[in-house]
Amino acid sequence: MMKKYILFSLLMSMAALSWGKHVPEQQAGVVASTFLSARVETAVSVRNIVSGGNDTYYVVNLNPRGWVIVSADDVAEPILGYSLSGSLETDGMPDNMRGLLEGYAREIEEIASLTADPHPDWVSTRALTRAPGGRVIDPLIQVNWNQTAPYNAYCPQGTALVGCVAVAMSQAMSVQRYPDRPQGRVSYTAPGYGGLSIDFDAERAYNWNDILAGTDNYDEAARLMYHAGLSVEMGYGTDGSGIPSNEVNRITDALRENFSYPESVQYIWRDQYDGDWEQLLLNELSAGRAIIYNAVDTKGNYGHSFNLDGYDGDGHFHVNWGWGGTGNGYFGVDNLRDLAMNMDYDAGHVAVIGIGAPDQVLKDITLSNLHIEEGLPAGAVVGQIKVNGAAALSTYTVSVHGTYDSASGTYAEVPFAVSGDMLVTTEVLTASDEAYTIEVTVEDSESETSLTQGFRIQIDPWKSLEESTSLRYDRQSERFSLHTKHNVSYVLTDLSGRVLQSGMLEPLPELTIDTQVLPADGFCLELTCGEEKKNIQIIK
């Protein structure tokens, strides 16, 4: 009853305040208190408020713990970042910490220059008072390592910094408690330090209990981080250690070659990824794998590696910045700001994923297609479901449901089902701008483990056969890949008209054509869908 009364009082206070363009300090305090109260389910009060970034944001520290960064202009999203624990102090900061939130200031000023309309979350208090309704993933990383002493004990001369890449790699590996030992050899020249080399095969095995416990003044953790640094040929320095921001392959190569992680470890650039970026990250975290996230501040010419390792169920990812816990908190992937450095990560986003031990039973779930056209009868196939890159084993049970609502403890209903290894519709669907968010769960009876990963299914408006059909050629495999709409038949002939192959494109509207087994001079392909026809001729 007390909790309800406190929240009611806060809401009344918010309603009494004017919602102008500039957000007063008092209002920022109410917003921060209301927001955090809904998440910790207990009363909180304002301890102090500090404005920054030319009065574009407030840092609100709360009692008994926690902090919230609130926009000071109502054109921007109210909550820019938050933490349920600790505090974010501004007094006595070193120089590189005094401007730590300038990135937020630039973003807010840019938004204000484009519009005077308030952000919807300022108009309605629902976004501030609702408890997170989605699936919550608690932070996977249980350590807060840093780059300075004692973590740099093995680095050149004992004074060079560990490097953010090495910290992020090591923290991600700490979740898996893997590998047992490093392997291979590394030798390179580090500017300012001369030749650096190591025979990993001669190194003793890792003691993961000591690594995670910080035994012997973090000696074993320091050794792991030094190994990670050498594996990527770290450029060491006392002011900063790093690798070129565009050479992320150094990280994936090292994880596979020196730390025995599987080939599924890969890096993906955000601007080259066609799928849903947030869902990609969520699926990694759902599989119990921390992410190494690289981003570049194009204005300051800085790059930094850090970890994404949790999710609050409401659009914010938990970030471990690799600065001994300083600034760790929840942020949207479009608002990543390093609270321990003065950086605004606005470009060059790349995620290193797949950092899981090889013996992980359920690694990932994939769906071959995320689009289906409207108006198809129930039972139409959306795509093929694969587990660990292959068909589901007999010990697997595969199911589909909507997203989880933690408030009600139920899953949303969705018009899809699993039939064999296919995702199918359960009713006739109509095109919409809103995609269906579904979750596919795989349970393995043998290992008694399960994995849930999400997908967004888009229902596309009707398109003609001409508009729906695409044909791509892979030079390496010498194969054509055709994708079209449902209910299409095909006839493949040589150039003289002799039929080579024919049939319906089902259950998926796809066709792979291997040119190595076709006539050398070319082929013709005729597609038919009702009254529509499309002819494709390939001449070599």
Q: Which of 26-30, 131-135, 212-216, 363-367 has the lowest mean pLDDT?
A: 131-135
Under the banding of pLDDT at 50, 70 and 90, the label for residue 301 is low
Report yes or no on 359 lying in a domain.
no
175 & 271 share domain: yes
**Phi/psi zone of residue 349: left (φ > 0), alpha (ψ -120 to 50 degrees), beta?**
beta
pLDDT category of residue 126 using cuts at 50, 70 and 90: low
The DSSP bridge partners found for residue 272 are none
- Top pLDDT among 296 and 323 is at 323
Q: Which residue has the tokens 């071959």?
A: 368
Q: Residue for token digits 């994880």?
A: 255
In the numeric block, the tokens 């409401």 are attached to 314
Residues 413, 482 within the same domain: no
Q: Quick check: is 416 in a domain?
A: yes
> Which residues lie closer than 8 Å to 308 by C-beta, 6 or more apart?
281, 285, 290, 291, 293, 317, 318, 319, 333, 351
Domain CATH number, residue 528: 2.60.40.3080
Q: Assess whether 338 and 378 both reside in one domain.
A: no
Q: Parallel, antiparallel, or unpaired: how do β-strands 489-493 and 499-504 relate?
A: antiparallel
Residue 310: inside a domain = yes
pLDDT tens for 378-419 read 999 999 999 999 999 999 999 999 988 777 788 899 999 999
**Domain with 89 in it:** 2-129
Catalytic residue among 164, 227, 349, 529: 164
Same domain, 439 and 342: no
pLDDT of residue 342: 55
Do 76 and 9 reside in the same domain of the chain?
yes
pTM of the predicted structure, to 2 decimals: 0.83
416 and 518 part of one domain:
no
**Arithmetic mean of pLDDT, 298-309:** 75
103-115 per-position pLDDT tens digit: 667 778 878 888 8
| Residue 136 within a domain | no
Q: What is the chain's mean pLDDT, rounded?
A: 88
User: Confidence band (pLDDT; 50, 70, 90) for 100?
Assistant: very low
Q: Where are the beta strands (DSSP E) in 317-395?
A: 317-320, 329-331, 337-338, 343-344, 347-353, 365-367, 371-373, 381-387
pLDDT-derived band of residue 13, with 50, 70 and 90 as boundaries? very low
**Same domain as 477, residue 373:** no
pLDDT in tens, 70-80: 989 988 889 88
User: Measuring CA to CA, which residue among 314, 252, 310 is closest to residue 282?
Assistant: 310
Indicate the length of the chain as a whole number. Answer: 540
At residue 347, does pLDDT exceed 90? no
Q: How much of the chain, in percent, has pLDDT values that exceed 70?
A: 88
Please indicate whether residue 147 or residue 107 has the higher confidence score (pLDDT): 147
Same domain, yes or no: 295 and 377: no
Q: Is-contact 455 279, C-beta < 8 A?
A: yes
In terms of domains, do 422 and 327 share one? no
Which residues, including other chains, have CB under 8 Å from residue 84's CB and lie 6 or more apart?
Answer: 36, 39, 40, 65, 66
Q: Is residue 144 part of a domain?
A: no
Query: Residue 6 in contact with residue 37, Cβ under 8 Å?
Result: yes
Residues 198, 320, single domain; the answer is yes
Question: Domain boundary residue among 460, 490, 509?
Answer: 460
Report percent pLDDT > 90 for the chain: 66
**Could you give the number of structural domains in the chain?**
4
Whether pLDDT at 61 is above 90: yes
Report how far Cα 78 is from the mean position of its chain's Cα atoms: 22
Q: What's the pLDDT tens digit per position in 334-344? A: 655 455 555 55
User: What does DSSP say about strands 522-529 and 489-493: parallel, antiparallel, or unpaired?
Assistant: antiparallel
Give residue 94's pLDDT band: very low, low, confident or very high (50, 70, 90). Answer: very low
For residue 146, tell me if it sits in a domain. no
Average pLDDT over residues 197-222: 98
Q: Encoding tokens for residue 477?
A: 């495999």
Give yes or no: residues 281 and 378 share one domain: no
**Tens digits of per-residue pLDDT, 172-202?**
999 999 999 999 999 999 999 999 999 999 9
Tell me which of 155, 227, 304, 316 is the catalytic residue. Answer: 304
For this structure, is 304 an active site residue? yes
Give the DSSP letter of residue 146: -
DSSP secondary structure letters along 187-231: EEEETTTEEEEEEGGGSPPP-HHHHHHTHHHHHHHHHHHHHHHHH
**CA angle 383–384–386, rounded 5-degree value:** 140
Q: Which residue has the tokens 């090591």?
A: 170
Tell me the residue type at 475. R
pLDDT of amino acid 107: 74
The domain spanning residue 280 has which CATH number? 3.90.70.50
CA distance 288 to 449: 12
The answer to whether residues 424 and 389 belong to one domain is: yes
| Number of C-beta neighbours around residue 230 at 10 A | 25
Is 164 noted as a catalytic residue in this protein? yes
Crossing angle (nearest 10°) for helices 215-231 and 249-257: 110
CATH number at residue 411: 2.60.40.10
Given a cut of 70, whether residue 37 has pLDDT beyond it is yes
pLDDT at 518 over 70: yes
C-alpha closest to that of 326 among 525, 164, 532, 535: 164
**Whether 312 contacts 332, CB under 8 Å:** no
Q: How confident is the model at residue 98 (pLDDT cuts 50, 70, 90)?
A: very low
Domain contains 346: yes
